[in-house]
Structure 1
Amino acid sequence: MTKEKIPKHVLAAIFATGILSFSGVIIETSMNIAFPTLMKEFNLATNTVQWLTSIYLLTISIIVPLSANLKAHFKTKKLFITANLLYLSGLIIGACAPNFEFLLPNYIQLVNGSSALIAGLVVLPAGFAGAFLAPFGGSLLDRYGARRPILIGSSFMLLELLIFTIFTSNLSNFLILFIYIFYMGGMGMMMGCVMTDALDHLEKSEVTQGNAILNTLQEFAGAVGTSITAAFVAFAQRNAGSKGTIPTAHGTHLAYIFLLVLVLVIIAIFMKYTQAHNKND
């Protein structure tokens, strides 16, 4: 049995897509971690500054559904070049904007009192874990179906949220680094499998629209989730009359409880509706 060789232009496309995806994650993360600086600079509450991320995600949720229609009317190369030019324009505007810094997770900075550099180094390994386990999840899907990688990945996320919920007030940077790897690894393992399994139930002519809908829902859910979790932190800070360490940790604890319950619901849904691999297929 000979293995089919992947054409060079396909490899180049995969490489370019990977770089763009990585850059997108960096930009999205940089907005989230800019919260402390923006709150201090403009004297804003957490639930107000979170709109920076929410509007970004909502904008994506508007653009993504249009992608299927754009692909039907314009050549992919033109769309790709246009998208990159818009992306570069945004980077230039952001770089020239005053009082705009790229920081990393709020908890590491506000509660643990670490610098942005340390915060960045703390979460960096988790990003690699997500990227590394994504193809592993795909391999499991090919061998056993979607159920196994999805449940393993969501279990990793549940473990991380459970530990973070229990130890919210005593999360050292090292513990965050170690546990966050499980979360991002689980996320990387399952997300592609969820998308693949969902699209597999559609007719071939419906896949493009289905892909657009799934991506839209993902970004919209991200915007809503950001708003809700920021509201928990803002609620605790407002009740305490302070944006200091203790109220921020308490708000983070409430947010983790909410996310823990949400993941439990998600796992229950996956267990009921995600099927194991059919050997006769």
Structure 2
Amino acid sequence: GTYMGVANLIILIGPALGPTFGGAVANFFDWRMIFWSTLPFAILLLVLGQGRIKQYTPTSDFAFDWLRFTALGVALISLTVALNGVSDRKWLTACVGLLIVVAAMTVFVWLSNHHAKTLFKLDVFHDPGFLYSFLPYILLQFSNVGINFLLPNYVQTVDGATAFIGGLILLPGSVFNGIGQPVYGWMLDHFGGRLPLFLGNTLFTLGVLGFTIFGRHISVLWVTILYLIFAIGRSMAFGNSTAYGLKVIQPDDQSDANALYSTGQQVTGSMGTTVLAGMMTAVTIPGLSHAQNVGIGSQLAFG
């Protein structure tokens, strides 16, 4: 748990500072400066990596399953297109996309049961230790990415805040999200999974419940406080879900589990943005202002 916490700390420090940095740049400079200012770091890391990143263990040849990879890629891309179609009320696009998802996933599952080439084993889902850590892991990521997108837009539209304030509201929660990871992992190691997972999910639920109840109009201060509770709970449960899952599944299945954790959180993260953004702007009640409609839509999205 502690080791996973340190690893997550490194990964999450960037996203912790990202919304505030982006909001400040967009407020004081042109939005393109977000990319121009980070480009030198990307080039520097590329140069440094060429001499530092090496292969320390022997590799072996294997037959990669391009058919399954293609089927899965088509399914996931079509799912994103279908969700965007629902958000934009393009029902034909949504229906066609969903049909392609069903067809591609059927092909993927059939190939998984009949091909021996390497991608990842679906049998890992038969392990309760993996399944019941995977599901909360991807749902927490869905909620986190969606809320991180929704809240800056919410305070700018409903509360009339600036882009800089929109990014700043996430900073306290994001800092605890990042620097708290080793502490949350330590809790798993010393007290077992029950304390950090139940406490984390309880705080997460309280935060979202507060957003849902008062979602039509929440002040900037209360958005910041509720997001702090949400972020601490979410981060406490998020990293420990994978740490606990990897502790209890079979060692031979851990590489497949890692691949599925990574794929699941990226797919559901993109879905979170699409679904919550669509719900946020879905309400158009005549006679209400744009801010009031967004407030009602946001309340639905929080729920």
> What TM-score comes out, normalization by structure 1 length?
0.56
Q: Which residue of 2 aligns with 1:47?
A: 87
Distance 1:103 1:245 in 2: 14
Separation in 2 of the partners of 1:220 and 1:139?
29
Matched, 1:193 2:240: yes
Cα separation, 2, equivalents of 1:226 and 1:210: 24
The share of aligned pairs that are identical, in percent, is: 28
Structure with more relative contact order (C-alpha pairs < 8 Å, separation 6 or more):
2
2:120 paired with 1:120: no
**Unmatched segments (≥5 aa) in structure 2:** 32-84, 89-117, 120-148
* Alpha-carbon offset, residue 177 of structure 1: 0.9
Q: CA RMSD in A?
A: 3.6
Counterpart of 1:23, as a letter, is G
Q: Are residues 1:172 and 2:219 paired? A: yes
C-alpha contact (below 8 Å) 2:200/2:237 kept by paired residues = yes
2:200 to 153, 163, 171: 153
**Cα 1:243–1:230, aligned 2, differ >3 Å: closer, same or farther?**
farther
Residues 28, 214 of structure 1: alpha-carbon distance in 2 compared, 3 angstrom cutoff: farther
Distance 1:159 1:21, change over 3 A: closer
* Counterpart position of 1:131: 178
CA distance 1:112–1:136, shift in 2 (3 Å): same
> CA 1:185/1:18 → structure 2, altered by over 3 Å: closer, same or farther?
closer
SS in 1 for 2:169: helix
The separation in 2 between residues aligned to 1:46 and 1:112, in whole angstroms, is 27
Cα offset, 1:19, TM superposition: 4.9
Q: CA deviation at 1:119?
A: 1.5
- Cα gap change, 1:253 to 1:178, in 2 (>3 Å): same
> Does the 8 A contact of 1:156 with 1:186 survive in 2?
yes
Q: 1:132 to 1:243 in 2, by over 3 A?
A: farther
Residue 153 of structure 1 aligns to which amino acid in structure 2? G
In the superposition, the TM-score normalised over structure 2's length comes to: 0.52
Distance 1:143 1:181 in 2: 25
2:208 counterpart of 1:208: no
Q: Tell me which residue corresponds to 1:225.
A: 272
Structure 1 equivalent of residue 46 of structure 2: none
* CA drift at 1:169: 2.2
Contact 2:12 2:177 in 1 (8 A): no
Which of 13, 30, 41 is the aligned partner of 1:22?
13
Deviation at 1:224, TM superposition (A): 2.3
Secondary structure of the structure 1 residue equivalent to 2:248: coil
Contact 1:125 1:177 in 2 (8 A): yes
1: CA distance, partners of 2:212 / 2:150: 23
User: Size of the alignment, in residue pairs?
Assistant: 182
Task: Pick from 215, 240, 255 the counterpart of residue 301 of structure 2.
Answer: 255
- Decide whether aligned partners of structure 1 residues 103 and 192 sit closer, same or farther in structure 2, where only a CA change above 3 A counts: closer
Secondary structure of 1:235 counterpart: coil
Residues 5-84 of structure 1: matches in 2 within 5 Å? 18-23=9-14, 47-48=87-88
Gaps of 5+ in 1: 1-9, 39-44, 49-67, 70-101, 258-281
Instruction: Map 1:235-274 onto structure 2 (within 5 A).
Output: 235-237=282-284, 239-240=285-286, 244-257=290-303
| Contact map agreement 1:103 1:120 (CA 8 A) in 2 | no
Q: Which runs of 4+ in 1 moved over 6 A?
A: none
Offset of residue 132 of structure 1: 3.1
